[in-house]
Every structure is written in structure tokens, then in C-alpha cells.
Amino acid sequence: MSGLSLSDSVTVSAFRGPWTLLKKELLRFWRVAFQTIAAPVITALLYLLIFSHVLESHVQVYDGVPYTAFLIPGLIMMSVLQNAFANSSSSLIQSKVMGNLVFVLLTPLTHLQFFLAFLIAAIIRGMVVGLCIYLVAMWFVDLQLANPWMIVAFALLGSALLGTFGIIAGIWADRFDQMAAFQNFIIMPLSFLSGVFYSIHSLPPFWQKVSQLNPFFYMIDGFRYGFFGKGDVSPLISLSIVGASFLVLAWITLRMLKSGYKLRY
């Protein structure tokens, strides 16, 4: 007898829902790729041109590593994090404001499936932007790859962490100005104060300790370690902190989705 069994049908049905939502999220940012992918790449390129031109002959952080080479991994990771956050947060706030989120909530998707679809889309956008910046940066300097697995691990974990935080922000915010506050007062300051443009060892002791309270610092430093095999802290410590932060935020997000907080009025 041809056809799927009952268990196979249930499996296909369970997969089809989250896949459809994921496909919708991927198409959402891909159809405006000039804004969601090209614009961040151009922004990172401008940072690279300005800072490398001004500081290349004046700053050397690691022995044998030109400042431009030091700068590029920081810019890549900063863009990965910002775009992962922007993808999930902007999708949710747009759907809430426009009133079409209800059509997603009416589907038989579980809160875990909902979370995974938004999370994977955020990771993919962050990784695509990061890869594009890396390819463009190769025109400027030949980057080492001391530990490719560390690069991939921090890129995946970092984009997952910020994608999760974006879901939290999108659930909490009711208006676009509230979402802008997240971007302007949390994401941007933490990004710029994470060691993208400098090593924290160049700071006074007090500010070094303050920087170590910034989770973005560990993502940037661990990612940079993958290129040069050098960092301000142990990559295993950074990986542990980033992984633990992701698990905490993922737990909070799943609790919010399961309870319907600010989603089911």
C-alpha cells in the first residue's frame, strides 16, 4: 500500500510548519537584500577604510599583526551580532504593529518551533553578512585562519545569542521607538565598547574590568582568537560565557513564548 504511514504523516506535518515560517523569515530579508545585506557590508567597509587609514601606522595590538588585520575580525563579528539581532527583532515588531502576527499565532506551531524558526533565520542573516564582509576584506589584507572551528563556533553562538535577544526585544516592544531604544542604548554601545577597534589591555585597569562585564567583548575576542590564535582572555572562558548567556536567554525566550507574554492579549 503506497503512501505515508500515520507516524510519517505526523513527522512531515510537524516539520512543515516551522519550515514554512523559517522560509517566510528568510524571504523577508532576502527580498530587501540591498538593505539587509549590502548596507551592513558597506558600513563595515567604511569603518575599515577610515580606521585603517588613520591608525594603521600608529597602532599595533599583536606582534606581527597589522592593525587592519586586527580590525577586520572585530568588524565582521560586530556586523554578525547587529544583523542577527535586527532580523528577529524587526520581524516581530513589524508583525505586531501591522497586526499580522496573529496569523502566525493561530497556527498549530509550538513555542519551540516558533523560536527555532526565528532563531535560525537570524543566524543565517548574521552569517551571510559576516561572510560577505570577510570576502570584501580579503581585498585589503590576507587574513590568517589559526583556528577555523573557533571562528565558526563564535559566529554561530554569537548570532544565536543576539537572535534570541532580538526575539525578546520584539516580544517586549510595542512600538518602533521602543525597538529603536534597544538598538541605540543597548546593542550599539555594547558593540562599540567590546574591543572591536582596540584591545582592552590598552585601557586603564578599571575600564578593563568594566569591559569584562560586557558579553559582546567575549564574542569579539573569541572570534578574533580564531584568526590569530591570540586574545585578551582564554577562548574557552569566552566560549563558556557566550554559551551560558545563550542558554539563559533561550530559556527566558521560551518561557515568554509559552506564556504568550505580550503576544496573546
Cell of 48: 575599515
What's the pLDDT score for residue 58? 63
Output the CA–CA distances (angstroms, integers) from residue 204 to 64, 147, 196, 200, 225, in the order listed.
24, 30, 17, 8, 22
Helix (H, G, I), strand (E, B) or coil at 65: coil
Q: Which residue's entry shows cell 558600513?
A: 43
Q: What is the pLDDT of residues 98-148, one digit of tens each?
A: 888 888 888 889 999 999 999 999 999 999 999 999 999 988 888 889 999
Within 10 Å of residue 14's Cβ, how many Cβ atoms? 14
What's the pLDDT score for residue 187? 94
Q: What is the pLDDT of residues 198-237, one digit of tens each?
A: 888 888 888 889 899 999 999 999 999 999 999 889 999 9
The domain spans of the chain are 15-259
Q: Considering Cα of 70, then 120, then 114, then 264, what sign does the dihedral take?
A: positive
pTM (2 decimals)? Answer: 0.92
